[in-house]
Structure 1
Amino acid sequence: MVRGKTQMRRIENATSRQVTFSKRRNGLLKKAFELSVLCDAEVALIIFSPRGKLHEFASSSMHETIERYQKHTKDNQANNPPSEHNMQHLKHEAASMMKKIEQLETSKRKLLGEGLGSCTIEELQHLEQQLERSVTTIRARKMQVYKQQIEHLKEKFGLQTRGGGGEGGSNEERAVAPSADISEVSDVETELFIGLPETRHKRPYQK
């Protein structure tokens, strides 16, 4: 019985994608090291993460290995000029890439809600699922940005908690921003009260 090949696709979940990247990267670096030691091979490995962070391994000198590769490629091209067969292959690859670009453009327009008249119910359901996953990812990122902005504002205005000294302290706690920083936001003194309503003390309005 012949089993079909498993189609490899990009991991949609950002957290799972980052975990998988870290595991595969570490495994690849380990294999590159083992290959250089066991086989006395000159190995150079360069990896850029999705965020642009560089990870590399070189059994000797990364710079010298790259120069050696460039020289070898240049000499190989000089000794083996493109043949008619290679030219036909390149033309075929270019045509295939153009077709893929057209398919991506069509898919993009459909995701934007354009050109849906020819879609079947299955295609529309697939598009709907794609959009729902995208919205979920965007909302998760938005909440993360909100939390980061809140933490940034807390650090900017130097919010400090005053009240009970530990778990056995008073039930009333207040977070007060220094007047010098608060004046940048409002001319009115602002206080943030934390606690039961009956523990709040009204203060007279100050200009």
Structure 2
Amino acid sequence: MFKTLERYQKCSYGTLEANGSAKEIEQSSYKEYLNLKANYESLQQYQRQLLGDDLGPLNIKELGNLEHLLETSLKQIRYTKTQFMLDQLFDLQSKEKLWLEANQALERKLDEMYTENQIGSSVGRW
């Protein structure tokens, strides 16, 4: 990692090395790396706790906060699922209405054809 950073700094900040500020850049980069690493490890620990693993080091207040967070997330998931199902229900009801209207139109057409056939056959007899 350091070698990669060093090569990058040589290419990008070649003139700065002569002034001795390359060491400062290297140190700040390393500090940033350590901060990112600590943040990453903290997020991994938090994820394990959300999944129910590694809860031993938590105190009662932290467990309560975790429980509250999980309940809130569950409510949000349920709300989203309910909203999705209601949207689907509305779409299905709209389709049902269209099919019923189409069915009624076909029935009227069929009745008209039947009536025309009845009238045509009765006229032919006279």
Pairing 1:176–2:114 present: no
**Which of structures 1 and 2 has the bigger CA Rg?**
2
Q: Which stretches in structure 2 are left out of the alignment for 5+ residues?
A: 1-11, 104-126
For the residue of structure 2 that corresponds to 1:115, the secondary structure is coil
For the residue of structure 2 that corresponds to 1:114, the secondary structure is coil
How far apart in 2 are the matches of 1:128 and 1:136?
12
The Cα offsets for residues 147-177 of structure 1, whole Å up to 9 and x where unpaired, read as 211122234x2515xxxxxxxxxxxxxx936
2:97 partner amino acid:
L
How far apart in 2 are the matches of 1:80 and 1:153?
69
- Aligned positions, number: 88
How far apart in 1 are the matches of 2:41 and 2:82?
35
In structure 2, the partner of 1:109 is: 48
Q: Which runs of 4+ in 1 moved over 3 A?
A: 77-82, 175-179
In structure 1, the partner of 2:97 is: 159
Pairing 1:150–2:89 present: yes
Structure 1 pair 97–158 and aligned structure 2 pair: CA distance change class (3 A): same
- 1:89 aligned to which of 28, 51, 54: 28
Seq. identity, %: 27
Give the TM-score, by structure 2 length.
0.60
How far apart in 1 are the matches of 2:89 and 2:16?
61
For the residue of structure 2 that corresponds to 1:87, the secondary structure is helix
**Of the two structures, which has the highest relative contact order with CA contacts closer than 8 Å and spacing of 6 or more?**
2
Give the TM-score, by structure 1 length.
0.38
CA drift at 1:139: 1.2
